[in-house]
Structure 1
Amino acid sequence: MRSSKSTQRCRTGGRITVAKKKETKREIHFTDVTLRDGEQAVGVIFTRREKAQIATFLAFIGVTTVEAGFPALGPEEKDCVRAVMDADIRVRRNGKVGDPLEVYAFARARREDVIDAAECGVHGVVLSIAASDIQIERRFQRSREWVLEQVREAADEAVSRGLAFTLCAEDAARADLSFLGEFFRLGESLGARMVRYSDSLGTDGPFTTYSRVKHLAGQLSVPIEMHALNDFGMATGNVLAGIRAGAESVAASIGGLGERAGNSPLEEVVMALKYLHGADLPIDTTRFREVAEYVAGASRRAIPIWKAIIGTNVFAHESGIHADGILKNPENYEAFRPEAVGLERQMVIGKHSGSKVLIHKFADEFGVEMDGETASQVLERVRATAVELKRPLFDKELMLLYGEVTGKVKDWEHEPW
């Protein structure tokens, strides 16, 4: 476990206890970046009202810190960030209203950006600048020394304006590890609340993430925050590896919304920590689907039905083997119950269904007891029809096929199927 300094620098309301085998419990902080990094996804724009509403939803489920926007973009963005501050949002934990939501703004490591953020009245600022040589030399045409000087000036401005700050190393995964350590130690000496390891291109893998973060954690007293992009589909895995290596905070977004392939999804990280690592989390996961639906509507980005944790297909069962297993005990094919994330179980009838689930569906949903022979005849027609239509069947279609087999078509003419 890291020194007590890290505990002092992280506000109690924003931490989550993680229990790992044979280790002392640690506490993990979450910063939601949906309002800033999420809005940087191509074509996504949140209105003032939407930003305030999303922040309210996040606080309601127990998230304690949000990155509300990038004030240096201009007056409209400042107005949106102020809207989040003006909403006077408080965090809800275990059914009780608690501390005010911590609102941070994003800023490049420039005095002007810090001033823009301060004008919005935020609690803190994320100071961000490239730490990899490829970006320092090709993007800025500058040196490492120039980067460190930019950090000093921006941090000085933040401190002088009473702003807490997180120092973010952009493209940390491709940065020289010794320079990255120097970069973060400078941030610590200047009073950073924590330092952010940002895998800006998603080029890290869990093994390299673990190794690099472990190395850095041994040099620092301030918490390390993981911010993983998903270009190679490993964002959640990289975040979990970072936490195992000693990171104490996660910057994530609802649904993984963000630039290019997006970020580590908040709901994935939380559920993985809770169900795979036994973490004690004061996050109301039962509202994940509800929050995700609002973000999807505001961003005009539909939630894929196959999306991990919050996609409707997570609890949709068609295959006869799987459906039979679910009927006997949901734990056979469900890692957690659908209610845990605000979803419902669906027993779908189609090409791959078996007779047992068909009999169950008719009895449970339609109040019709069907013997094995009838079920086999109906199932034969179900599979043929599903192949022809290239999809599972609707309830009304199932009833019609049942009627064709049994001759009881008229019994269903006035039912609401």
Structure 2
Amino acid sequence: MTAQAFPPVIVNDTTLRDGEQAPGVSFTIDEKIAIARGLDAARVDEIEAGIPAMGAAEIDAIAAVSSAVRNAVVIAWCRMTESDVDAALKTGLSRINLSVPVSDRQIRVKFGCGREDVIARIHRVVSYARDKGFEVSVGGEDSSRADFDFLLRVVAAAQTSGAHRFRFADTLGVLDPFKTHDLFESLRRETDMELEFHGHDDLGLATANTLAAVRGGATHVSVCVLGLGERAGNAALEEVAAALAQVSGRMTAVDLTQLTSLAELVARGTRRPIPAAKSIVGAAAFAHESGIHVSGILRDPECYEAVNPAQFGRARSIVLGKHSGMAAISNALTSLGITADEGRARRVLDEVRIRAVALKRSIHESELLEFYAATGSEETALVAQSALDRGTLC
């Protein structure tokens, strides 16, 4: 099957559930509604909105999120218990994810029982939820450390009990892409269920593992805006959506132009600033300073840009600093309506580098004009002042 023949990958965003479990993060109901609307505007397929068992306030927030979105499917996250199913009923939703530990260590620590009790619990609670009218996804917590033969039994129990999907959770972020691919290839041979991958980023591999899971047969991906989540977080929505199209040739419904505004919205709600170099959505993600790079970019953007910033509603920027070259200086002056001879441009470049090193930052265009004005006659200064007065500065 060619890449184009594959169906779109379904994106499940859990910023409002797993993302909010990040240390120190707590969204108000208004923030949850705003984020949900942002996800909906970005055409994210599914929104995992919270945990009903947390109580009345969380139930109200989940219901409000459901009312606020137009297209995305809203899902509640529950433990594999009847009481959690009963709490989910109060949200008015029709979809839930029922999570259960599947590694021997977590089964022992959390339940104090064995594998057979987990299988029995799945049959009992999934059937209970189906009888209550829910569509059910079963989440296997700590799937990456589970015995694989037992994991196959869990998947089979979920399917025979009426679940439509199995979520494989790399809860501790211990997988690498090669192992992830092999696991999903093996799972896909054994079941025709929807398969979702939920990856944590403890080793910095969550996005890579998510792509590998899709290549191995996953139909759904679980992500968070900005990779928010417990400990080192989860696979980042913006990275997965962009990389699936760019690297894997797989489509999602996500509107890539909405990702930056969505990331900024979540960053405000978490009070965690977006790192400048954050891929896709960071302020410097499409910024260039190096003289060699800028010289190439000005001739052909694809010389140093494999990803077009316009795909994300972004624009490239050329930054003046220590590593700038003559091409960047000439381009910057030209953009201000100034044509400088090589000697003056060279003196401007020298001043740019000196100040950038001294102040440990890039150079503003007002400073560029200051340097140009200092290179020549009164006429040169007047040209620089005229450019400043025209308001041509970025």
Shared fold by TM > 0.5? yes
- 2:106 equivalent in structure 1: 135
Q: Distance in 1 between matches of 2:172 and 2:375?
A: 57
Letter in 1 for 2:50: G
Matched with 1:172 is 143
Q: How does 1:271-286 map to 2 (within 5 A)?
A: 271-286=242-257
Map residues 22-171 of structure 1 onto 2, 5 A cutoff.
24-87=5-68, 89-91=69-71, 101-171=72-142
Q: TM-score with structure 1 length normalisation?
A: 0.89
SS in 1 for 2:272: coil
Structure 2 CA distance for aligned equivalents of residues 361 and 118 of structure 1: 60
Listed as ranges, the matches of 1:304-383 within 5 Å are: 304-364=275-335, 366-383=336-353
Q: Which amino acid aligns with 1:68?
A: A
1:203–1:232 contact (8 Å) kept in structure 2:
yes
After superposition, the C-alpha distances for 1:149-182 in whole angstroms (9 at most, x for unaligned) are 2222221221011011110001111111111111
Mapping of residues 199-218 of structure 1, within 5 Å: 199-218=170-189
Deviation readout 1:224-267 (Å, 9 max, x if unpaired): 10100000000011011111111111011111111111111111
Name the residue aligned to 1:398.
Answer: 368
1:254 paired residue among 222, 225, 234: 225
- 3-state SS of 1:125 partner: strand
Letter matched to residue 381 of structure 1: E
SS in 2 for 1:244: helix
1:378 to partner: Cα distance? 0.9
Distance 1:233 1:72 in 2: 31
Query: What is the TM-score normalised by the length of structure 2?
Result: 0.95
What code does the residue aligned with 1:163 have? F
Aligned partners of 1:25, 1:156: CA distance in 2, in Å? Answer: 32
Are 2:9 and 2:250, in contact at CA under 8 Å, matched by a contact in 1? no
Q: Distance in 2 between matches of 1:153 and 1:52?
A: 34
1:345 is displaced (CA, Å) by 1.2
**8 Å contact 2:10–2:252 — kept in the other structure?**
no
Q: Which residue of 1 aligns with 2:259?
A: 288
What is the Cα-based RMSD across aligned positions, in Å?
1.5
State the percentage of identical aligned residues: 39
Verify the 8 A CA contact 2:8 2:251 in the aligned structure 1.
Answer: no
Shift of 1:374: 1.2
Query: Conserved in 1, the CA contact under 8 Å of 2:99 and 2:139?
Result: yes
CA distance in 1 between counterparts of 2:109 and 2:46 reads: 33
1:366-385, CA deviations, whole angstroms, 9 ceiling, x for partnerless residues? 11111222111111111111
- Supply the AA of the counterpart residue of 1:193: H
1:102/1:123 contact within 8 Å kept: no
CA-CA distance at 1:65 after TM superposition: 1.1
Structure 1 residue 326: Cα displacement: 0.9
- Residues in 1 aligned to 2:66 and 2:136: alpha-carbon distance in whole angstroms: 17
Deviation per CA, 1:325-355: give whole Å up to 9, x if none: 1111111111222121122211100000000
**What is the SS of the residue equivalent to 1:122?**
coil
Q: Hey, what's the Cα distance between the residues in 2 that align with 1:27 and 1:180?
A: 26
Post-superposition shift, 1:411? 4.5
Q: Distance in 1 between matches of 2:91 and 2:157?
A: 27
**1:102 is matched by which residue type in structure 2?**
V
Would you say the 8 A contact 1:132–1:174 is kept in 2? Answer: yes
Q: Which amino acid aligns with 1:76?
A: A
Tell me which residue corresponds to 1:4. none
Q: Is the 8 A contact 2:127 2:162 kept in 1?
A: no
The answer to whether the Cα contact below 8 Å between 1:107 and 1:128 also exists between their aligned partners in 2 is yes
Matched, 1:20 2:7: no
Deviations 1:293-341 (A, max 9, x none): 1111112121111111111211110000111111111111112221211
- Distance in 2 (CA, whole Å) between partners of 1:380 and 1:275 is 39
Equivalent position of 1:303 in the other structure: 274
**Residues 312 and 343, structure 1, Cα contact 8 Å, conserved in 2:** no
CA distance in 2, matches of 1:26, 1:85: 26
Q: Residues 115 and 157 of structure 1 are in contact (CA less than 8 Å); yes or no, is this contact kept in structure 2?
A: no
Amino acid of the structure 1 residue aligned with 2:217: G
The Cα offsets for residues 38-57 of structure 1, whole Å up to 9 and x where unpaired, read as: 11111111122221221111
Query: How many residues are treated as equivalent by the alignment?
Result: 387
- Matched residue, 2:197: 226
1:354-406: CA deviation from partner (whole Å, max 9, x where unpaired): 00111001112x11111222111111111111111111111111111111122
* Superimposed CA distance per residue, residues 258-297 of structure 1 (whole angstroms, 9 cap, x where no aligned partner): 1111111111111111112223433211111011111111
